[in-house]
Amino acid sequence: MACIEARELRKRFGGTVALDGISLRVTEGHILGLVGPNGAGKTTALNAMLGLTPYQGELRVLGHDPWTERDLLMRDVCFIADVAVLPRWIRVSHLLDYVAGVHPRFDRAKAEGFLTKTTIRLTTKVGELSKGVVTQLHLALVMAIDAKLLVLDEPTLGLDILYRKQFYDSLLSDYCDGSRTIVVATHQVEEIEHVITDLVFIDRGRIVFDSSMDGLESRYVEVLVHPARIDAARALRPMHERQGIGRRALLFEGVDRQRLAELGELRTPSLADLFVAVVGDHAGQAQEAHR
Amino acid sequence: MSTLAPTIAAAAPAGPAQTSTLRRFYWSVRRELWEYQAIYVAPVAVAALVLLGFLISTVHLAADLRAAALDPARQNDLLQRPYRYAAALIMLSTFIVGIFYCVEALYAERRDRSTLFWKSLPVSDVTAVIAKASIPLVILPLVTFAVTVATQLIILLLGTAVLSVSGANAATLWAHVPLLQMSWLLLYHLVTVHALWWAPFFGWLLLVSAWARRAPFLWATLPLVAISIVEKIAFDTTRFATMLQTRYNASREAVIAPGTLPIDPMTHLTPRVFLSSASLWLGLAVAAALLVAAVRLRRARGPI
């Protein structure tokens, strides 16, 4: 079943095109990574899905129209739209009271259980906590909500590496159960590499890459080519080429593995390299076309 | 509030994934009281000051009363004054709190980006805005009433004690201070003027609060001044300013001849005239329209 179904989403801010016809389908139980450079339209796309911004095009999230039915949608959707957006003036115990009061699927005991694993005390005010700890608190709240869809927009931006790692670790161990759908947008690809099941690259309001992680491993191969065989390798039309240590790393899409194996050592490309290959080239081409 | 809590909590249907609109509204109002503690701290603080002033005045109260023994009007004034002060000052404090509250209510959540958190919960923009509007229209009048009546009661008890100790006849005090009647008048005034008559003011402030990207207080006041000035220069009239002033000066229909000393003030209340006055309903319609606009703005506006 499709959790999110978007067709030809468009959005302009004055003269700037933020979404330039995005079509996307997220299936239940999948964890989608939405990766793009700053200003690519990630946040706008997520805001449209969460009913925070109006849009043109067709969009259904869990069968709801997000813009007109945000409150209904939020019974089944959770989101962390930015780092540390919890109100600074509120006491942690009041925060739990409030969410328990308004959210039918919030399990207060579960949230308090998560909090005992942290240094957060119920009498503390959010403003007294550091940014990383506020994120822990927000994640504890969100994980205690039995939602069908969780949307995360740069949830760890500006946090130190310990909190960033912990964030995704607890998400994987305490939240993901195979039936929940998660959409996470970030420009730090390496962070979500081992979390996601599907990957979308978005650049200047368009989807420039869309693949499952399984498909990605069979379709894309990076070959560390020995300098002597570089011409033969280039003849197979690599999508990207970069300098490795002593050898050049060429990235191929859909080329027979046996042929590539003759050229050098094969490996699965990292998402960062794939991102540079797809978005970097895309941006490069656009710049050339501009000239 | 606390006695209301279990009733409303129990009003929620028993279904596992249900919370009623009423329950969400109730918690939204609680939320406002956590954030804006001035809603009850300010009137209580003013009440404490009034009591302090009254306590100091009791040093010469008995002597003053003896001096005015032959002048019943003056005696009446002396005895009733602290109660009037208490009511007037507490009302003033909550009125000011109401203005600042409304200006902040839909602006602060965008400024501190917490709107992104509030909107991640299943509370509609309508519920959120109505909860915020209920602060100046319902909660503040109720708080004003409760704090004022409590303060007046304390003044009455303290006055009785002081007069008894000083040997004066405390019964004079009780004869001159119709506490029940004062409370009823106060409640009538709060409901008719503070809640109903001034509703469009609060609606306007909430609208600006939802709309402004910065300086909501200036946006709330300067356009009104600007319209008045342009009207004066363009047409040499002051209709807009007069309209605002009439609105602020409270309803003529709620009581007959305000400002005169009533023999029995209760006979001066004219709720039927008030409720059938066109300007009341026009004002409420304007307030409703402003709130609808505030709801739409809250839905569309993101953090700033």
Give per-residue pLDDT as tens, A161-181: 888 888 898 888 888 888 899
Higher confidence at residue A274 or residue B176? A274
Please give, rounded to a whole number of angstroms, the shortest distance from the CA of B105 to a CA of chain A.
13
B90: closest CA among B138, B53, B45?
B45
Which residue in A has a C-alpha nearest to residue B32's C-alpha? A90
Strands, E, within A155-263: which ranges?
181-186, 198-203, 206-212, 220-225, 240-243, 248-253
- Token readout for A13 is 């801010």
Strand partners, A267: A222
CB–CB contacts below 8 A, A to B: 89
Position B99 confidence tier, pLDDT thresholds 50, 70, 90 = very high
Q: What is the ipTM of this complex?
A: 0.90
Position B252 confidence tier, pLDDT thresholds 50, 70, 90 = low
Residue in this structure with the two tokens 């709309």, named with its chain if needed: B211
Residues of A in contact with B34 (CB under 8 A): 89-91, 94
What is the pLDDT averaged over residues A180-199? 90
Which residue in A has a C-alpha nearest to residue B127's C-alpha? A71
Contact status of B14 with chain A (Cβ, < 8 Å): no
Contact status of B13 with chain A (Cβ, < 8 Å): no
Which residue in B has a C-alpha nearest to residue A92's C-alpha? B34
- Res. B41: pLDDT tops 90: yes
Neighbour-count burial of A247, counting CB atoms closer than 10 A to its CB (0-12 exposed, 13-18 middle, 19+ buried): middle
What is the pLDDT averaged over residues A149-160? 90
- Res. B11: pLDDT tops 50: no
- Token readout for B124 is 């509609």
Strongest mean pLDDT among A56-65, A229-238, B173-182: A56-65
Q: What is residue B12's predicted lDDT score, i.e. its pLDDT?
A: 43
Contact status of B105 with chain A (Cβ, < 8 Å): no
The partner residue sitting opposite B122, judged by closest CB among A50, A103, A138, is A103
Instruction: Tell me if A52 and B119 make a contact (CB, 8 A cut-off).
Output: yes
Say if residues B120 and A73 touch (Cβ distance below 8 Å).
no
Cα Rg, chain A, nearest whole Å? 21
Residues of B in contact with A105 (CB under 8 A): 17
The partner residue sitting opposite B19, judged by closest CB among A53, A97, A104, is A104
- Res. A143: pLDDT tops 80: yes
Please give, rounded to a whole number of angstroms, the shortest distance from the CA of B139 to a CA of chain A.
19
Residues of A in contact with B297 (CB under 8 A): none
User: What is the edge-to-edge ordering of all strands in the sheet holding A264-267?
Assistant: A240-243, A248-253, A220-225, A264-267
Mean pLDDT of chain B: 87
Q: What is residue B179's predicted lDDT score, i.e. its pLDDT?
A: 85
Position A45 confidence tier, pLDDT thresholds 50, 70, 90 = very high
State the number of CA atoms in the 13 A half-sphere of A185 facing the CB.
23
Q: What angle do CA B284, B287, B289 make, to 5 degrees?
A: 110
What is the pLDDT averaged over residues B29-45? 97
Q: What is residue B160's predicted lDDT score, i.e. its pLDDT?
A: 87
Residues listed for chain A: 291
A150: closest CA among A200, A203, A95, A78?
A78
What is the reported pTM? 0.89
Residues of B in contact with A50 (CB under 8 A): 119-120
Higher confidence at residue A263 or residue B127? B127
Higher confidence at residue B290 or residue B181? B290
| Cα–Cα distance for residue pair B102/A16, rounded to 1 Å | 34
**SS3 assignment, position A203:** strand
Q: What is residue B14's predicted lDDT score, i.e. its pLDDT?
A: 41
User: Rounded to 5, what percent of chain B is helix, strand, coil?
Assistant: 80, 0, 20
Contact status of B16 with chain A (Cβ, < 8 Å): yes
